[in-house]
C-alpha cells in the first residue's frame, strides 16, 4: 500500500483516539494532514506533534493562543474558529474521518465531501440532520461515504456483492444501553453518571446518553435510511445485549448475513480505513465459546420512546430529523448538566417535534438554520421545566 493522507475531524475524542491508535500502529502507510478538536489544545498539540500533522485546528477560537503556544517551534500550522475548521476539512486528504460529535460536525463534513474523496463517517448527527442534502452532495462530488458506526459498517459489509433489491430486512442490533432492564420508575431517577456507564462500549458522553435513551438507535435508523435506501419498512431494530452481532441483512432467499466482532470501534474504523482491503487491529480474536450465549429481544418503545420518535421523523423526512436531532442534543446536554430528568429527554424532543415542523431544507444553510431554531426551542423547554 502506498502512503495515504488522512485528516481526523474530532481527533481528541473517543473515535479520534481509536482512529489514531490504528494509524500509530501502521505509521509508515499514513501521512496526517489536519487534526482538529473543540477546545483541548494541549491534547491536540500533542497528537499533531506525534503524527507530524500539517495543521491543527481548535473549533473554539479562544483556545487558539494555547494551541499556538503548545505547537511553538514544531512548524505545525495552528488555526482556530469555525471557518478554520472548514478550511481544515477542505484541505486535500485522501481519507477524512468525520468524528466530531453532533451537528457541529456537519459543515466541516460537507466541506470534506466537496473534495470528492473518502469520508469515513462516525458523525451520525450530521447525516441525520442533513439527510438528502448530504447524500446529494456525496453523489454530486463523487465522494465515497464509508460508515464507521458499527451497525452501519456491519450492514455495509453484509451488502458487499449483493443487490439492494434482494434485501428483505436490514436489522440494526442495539445493546439496549445501561438501563435496558430498568423500570419506568427507575428510569425517571436515572443520573448522568449512571447513563454514561455503558455496559459494552467505551464512548463519548453524548452518545453514551443516547445509548441509554435509545436515541442512538433512533438516529442510527435514520442514518441507515440514508445509507441503505431499501425503504423504512425494511429497517428493523432488535435488542442484543452482548453487542457481538453488529447488524444483519436478510435476503429474499432466506439467507441472513451478519457481521460479528468485539465491541471495539477500532474494528469498523479499520474496515473503513483499509476499504476495500483489510488491515490489522490489536483486538483480541472473537471467542464465542467464552461469550457462550447470544440473545435477542424486541425493543420496548413504551419505556424507550426514542426509536418510535425517530421512525416517525424518518417517515416525515425533510427537516424533521434535523429538528429531532437538535432537540435531542440540547436535551442531552441539559440532562448531563442536571437540569432535566432522564425521561424528560424524550419528552422534550417530542414536545419540540410537535411544535416545529419547518419545510424541507434545500441546502446546508437551510439545515443549519433548522438546527439552530430547534435548539432555541429545545432550550426554552429546558428552561420552562
12 belongs to the binding site for ligand NAD (CB under 6 A) = yes
Q: Which of 149, 264, 366, 371 binds Mg ion (CB under 5 A)?
A: 149
Q: Which of 331, 310, 334 is nearest to 322 (CA)?
A: 310
Q: Which stretch binds Mg ion (CB under 5 A): 29-37, 95-103, 147-155, 328-336?
A: 147-155
348 belongs to the binding site for ligand NAD (CB under 6 A) = no
Nearer residue to ligand NAD within complex by CB, 49 or 168: 49
Residue 145 φ/ψ, nearest 5 degrees: -100, 110
Distance CA 333, CA 325 (A): 12
Distance CA 306, CA 384 (A): 21
For residue 196, the SS3 value is coil
Distance CA 67, CA 24 (A): 22
Q: Which of ligand NAD, Mg ion, none does residue 15 bind (CB under 5 to 8 Å by kind)? A: ligand NAD
Q: Which stretch binds ligand NAD (CB under 6 A): 100-108, 129-137, 177-185, 353-361?
A: 100-108
Q: What is the DSSP string of 133-151?
A: HHHHHHHHHT-EEEE-SHH
CB-based closest residue to ligand NAD: 13
Q: Are 115 and 141 in contact (CB under 8 A)?
A: yes
Binding mask of the shown chain, residues 106 to 135, with x at each position contacting ligand NAD by CB under 6 A: ----------------xxxx----------
Q: How far is CA 266 from the centre of its chain?
A: 14
For residue 28, the SS3 value is helix
Q: What is the DSSP letter of 310?
A: H
14 belongs to the binding site for ligand NAD (CB under 6 A) = yes
- Give least dist CB 288 to ligand NAD, A: 22
Q: Which of ligand NAD, Mg ion, none does residue 172 bind (CB under 5 to 8 Å by kind)? A: none
Strands 167-174 and 235-239: parallel
299 belongs to the binding site for ligand NAD (CB under 6 A) = no
Distance CA 172, CA 228 (A): 12
16 belongs to the binding site for ligand NAD (CB under 6 A) = yes
Binding mask of the shown chain, residues 53 to 72, with x at each position contacting ligand NAD by CB under 6 A: ------x-------------
Please give the residue ranges that form the binding site for ligand NAD (CB under 6 A): 10-16, 37-38, 40, 59, 99-101, 104, 122-125, 149, 201, 203-204, 206-207, 265
Amino acid at each position: 500500500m502506498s502512503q495515504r493522507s488522512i485528516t481526523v475531524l474530532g481527533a481528541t475524542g473517543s473515535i479520534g483516539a481509536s482512529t489514531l491508535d490504528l494509524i500509530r500502529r501502521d505509521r509508515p502507510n499514513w501521512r496526517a494532514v489536519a487534526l482538529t478538536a473543540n477546545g483541548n489544545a494541549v491534547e491536540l498539540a500533542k497528537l499533531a506533534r506525534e503524527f507530524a500533522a500539517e495543521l491543527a485546528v481548535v473549533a473554539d477560537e479562544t483556545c487558539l493562543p494555547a494551541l499556538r503556544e503548545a505547537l511553538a517551534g514544531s512548524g505545525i500550522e495552528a488555526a482556530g474558529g469555525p471557518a478554520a475548521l472548514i478550511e481544515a476539512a477542505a484541505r486535500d486528504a485522501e481519507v477524512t474521518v468525520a468524528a466530531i460529535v453532533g451537528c457541529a460536525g456537519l459543515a466541516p463534513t460537507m466541506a470534506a465531501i466537496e473534495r470528492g474523496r473518502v469520508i469515513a463517517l462516525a458523525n451520525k448527527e450530521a447525516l441525520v440532520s442533513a439527510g438528502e442534502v448530504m447524500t446529494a452532495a456525496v453523489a454530486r462530488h463523487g465522494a465515497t461515504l464509508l460508515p464507521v458506526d458499527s451497525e452501519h459498517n456491519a450492514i455495509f459489509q453484509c451488502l458487499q456483492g449483493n443487490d439492494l433489491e434482494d434485501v428483505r430486512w436490514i436489522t440494526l442490533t442495539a445493546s439496549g444501553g445501561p438501563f435496558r432492564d430498568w423500570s419506568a420508575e427507575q428510569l425517571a431517577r436515572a443520573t448522568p453518571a449512571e447513563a454514561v456507564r455503558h455496559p459494552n462500549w467505551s464512548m463519548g458522553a453524548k452518545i453514551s446518553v443516547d445509548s441509554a435513551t435509545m436515541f442512538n438507535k433512533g438516529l442510527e435508523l435514520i442514518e441507515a435510511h440514508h445509507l441503505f435506501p431499501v425503504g423504512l419498512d425494511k429497517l428493523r431494530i432488535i435488542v442484543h445485549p452482548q453487542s457481538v452481532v453488529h447488524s444483519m441483512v436478510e435476503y429474499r432467499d432466506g439467507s441472513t448475513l451478519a457481521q460479528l466482532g468485539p465491541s471495539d470501534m477500532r474494528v469498523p474504523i479499520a474496515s473503513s480505513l483499509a476499504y476495500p482491503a483489510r488491515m490489522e487491529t490489536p483486538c483480541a480474536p472473537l471467542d464465542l465459546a467464552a461469550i457462550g450465549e447470544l440473545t435477542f429481544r424486541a425493543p420496548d418503545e413504551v419505556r424507550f420512546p426514542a426509536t418510535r420518535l425517530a421512525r416517525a421523523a424518518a417517515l416525515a423526512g425533510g427537516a424533521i430529523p434535523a429538528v429531532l436531532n437538535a432537540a435531542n442534543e440540547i436535551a442531552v446536554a441539559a440532562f448531563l448538566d442536571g437540569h432535566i430528568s432522564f425521561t424528560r429527554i424524550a419528552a422534550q424532543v417530542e414536545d419540540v417535534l410537535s411544535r416545529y415542523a419547518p419545510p424541507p431544507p434545500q441546502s446546508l444553510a437551510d439545515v443549519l438554520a433548522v438546527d439552530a431554531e430547534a435548539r432555541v426551542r429545545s432550550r426554552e423547554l429546558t428552561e420552562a421545566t
